[in-house]
Structure 1
Amino acid sequence: MSPFFAEFLGTMILILLGNGVVANVVLDKTKGNNGGWIVITFGWAMAVFIAVYMVSASSGAHLNPIVTLSLAVLGKFAWSSVPLYILAQFLGAMAGTTLVFLGYKQHYDETSDAGLIKATFCNEPAIRNNFYNLLSECIGAFVLIIGILFLTGPDNSLGSLDALPVALLVLAIGLSLGGATGYAINPARDLGPRIMHALLPIKNKGTSDWRYSWIPVVGPICGGLLAVLVFSILQ
């Protein structure tokens, strides 16, 4: 499998299962309706586990532009491959969230709350404050990247044996730090589906909240780069 297709497929599965569990919990008349935050965080952790395990041998299973950028800054990944990986990640995220929409189409039609509909695509803060929302995403991404760097092997690429530790890391971030903004910690995970939220013919969907869209992009970038700096100092 080519690295490009592996990153596309892995990110698609990540978002299909991750946003899929959110749809199952928040959309009307689903079997999992009102399942709660624990179900969502466990669902996202399992999405990470499956996606990383599937494609790690082919691409290193970055599945997140911040992972790709962080490894490139560390000199562990070729800068020439960065644009291709990030493109694959965004396309995969857009494809994955579209499959969620198709799979739950009837439930989207039954749901009148625009906020709940948007929650199945992208994030919004529990309390809107740009500084603290940005800080929350920065802290979450910092924990993600520094955790990955210490959990993985000498070359800092994810293998299949790293899938479970990374999934548990994401579970811990969601349970502990996710309550403020929904822990995007991945620009492709938020911005790709947000674009599809704007494009898809979703009944009662409301606004895509573009004024917030920069925070799940800039926050993770800052957190990831800070993690790289700290990791470099500690080595």
Structure 2
Amino acid sequence: MQDSLTLQLVGEFIGTLVLILLGDGVVAAVSLKKSKAEGAGWIAIALGWGLAVTLGIYCSAFLSPAHLNPAVTLGMAIAGVFPWSSVIPYIIAQTLGAIVGAAIVWLNYYPHWQETDDPAAILGVFATGPAIRNYFFNFLSEFIGTFVLVFALLAFTRGKFTQGLNPIVVGLLITAIGFSLGGTTGYAINPARDLGPRIAHQILPIANKGKSDWSYSWVPVLGPLAGGAVAAFAYLLIP
């Protein structure tokens, strides 16, 4: 049992690392100066994150359930399809994977940080931030986006998807959330996705970086956890 859990944690670490490497990577490509993709815009970012989720799942699903998201892990536990004893270990593995993935993004774009003189753009590569800072509505946006994510994932378990197609459908779900709901906060919808790279931003010697905006950091952690939990409770109400 312990060996099985260890392999699952390795899967969550790897999957979340790939998720952040490709997800934060597309933001870096669009945001950093002298990148060949500079200015490609929101469509590139939303599509890139959808692909990042799909490929993160494919890279880890042979080892673990490929949650790659503490809000998903919590929601699955509340819904009774995941053991509570594994929740904290999963969250730790996911967060560590996110930190390492963000660090690799920093290395991949190393010359471009020096060329980018906008600290907000640099932070935006790693962590989300609101278009309009209003903590209540920022929290609500993260709550709604994650509710949709977790409820849909639980609904998918009742569908007829084959194992091979499920990651693609989940990637499309993330892309749809990004297009439709993500313009308010940058749609973290995943505590590890925001917290891990924000920690990396804090500790790495990134050229031209500013503060890591810890005053906002609770929103993309607690909002998704709350949204995922309520989605699971709502799912349990369905016969």
TM range (shorter): over 0.9
Q: Aligned partners of 1:148, 1:109: CA distance in 2, in Å? A: 40
| Paired residues, number | 232
Matched residue, 1:10: 15
Matched residue, 1:196: 200
Q: Aligned partners of 1:132, 1:173: CA distance in 2, in Å? A: 17
Q: Percent sequence identity over matched residues? A: 53
Matching of residue 124 in structure 1 with residue 124 in structure 2: no
Matching of residue 184 in structure 1 with residue 185 in structure 2: no
Report the residue type matching 2:27 in the other structure: V
Whether the 8 Å CA contact 2:22–2:48 is kept in 1: the answer is yes
- Give how far 1:203 is off: 1.3
Quick one: which of 208, 229, 233 aligns to 1:229? 233
**Cα offsets for 1:8-39 (capped at 9, x unmatched):** 00000000000000000000000100000000
Q: Which runs of 5+ in 2 are unaligned?
A: 1-5
Report the residue type matching 1:212 in the other structure: Y
Q: Aligned partners of 1:106, 1:206: CA distance in 2, in Å? A: 17
Q: Aligned partners of 1:26, 1:172: CA distance in 2, in Å? A: 21
Matched residue, 1:51: 56
Whether the 8 Å CA contact 1:53–1:159 is kept in 2: the answer is no
Report the residue type matching 2:203 in the other structure: L
Quick one: which of 99, 112, 116 aligns to 1:111? 116
Secondary structure in structure 1 of the residue aligned to 2:91? helix
Q: Aligned partners of 1:147, 1:80: CA distance in 2, in Å? A: 24
Matched residue, 2:85: 80
- Give how far 1:160 is off: 3.7
**Cα offsets for 1:62-104 (capped at 9, x unmatched):** 0000111111111211111112111110000000000000000
Q: Which runs of 5+ in 1 are unaligned?
A: none
- Give how far 1:161 is off: 2.8
Q: Aligned partners of 1:159, 1:188: CA distance in 2, in Å? A: 25
Whether the 8 Å CA contact 2:79–2:235 is kept in 1: the answer is no
Q: Aligned partners of 1:3, 1:11: CA distance in 2, in Å? A: 12
Aligned ranges 1:10-29 → 2 under 5 Å: 10-29=15-34
Q: Aligned partners of 1:176, 1:22: CA distance in 2, in Å? A: 18
Aligned ranges 1:123-162 → 2 under 5 Å: 123-153=128-158, 159-162=163-166
- Give how far 1:137 is off: 0.3
Whether the 8 Å CA contact 1:56–1:159 is kept in 2: the answer is no
Could you state the TM-score of these two structures normalised by the residue count of structure 1?
Answer: 0.96
Whether the 8 Å CA contact 2:54–2:170 is kept in 1: the answer is yes
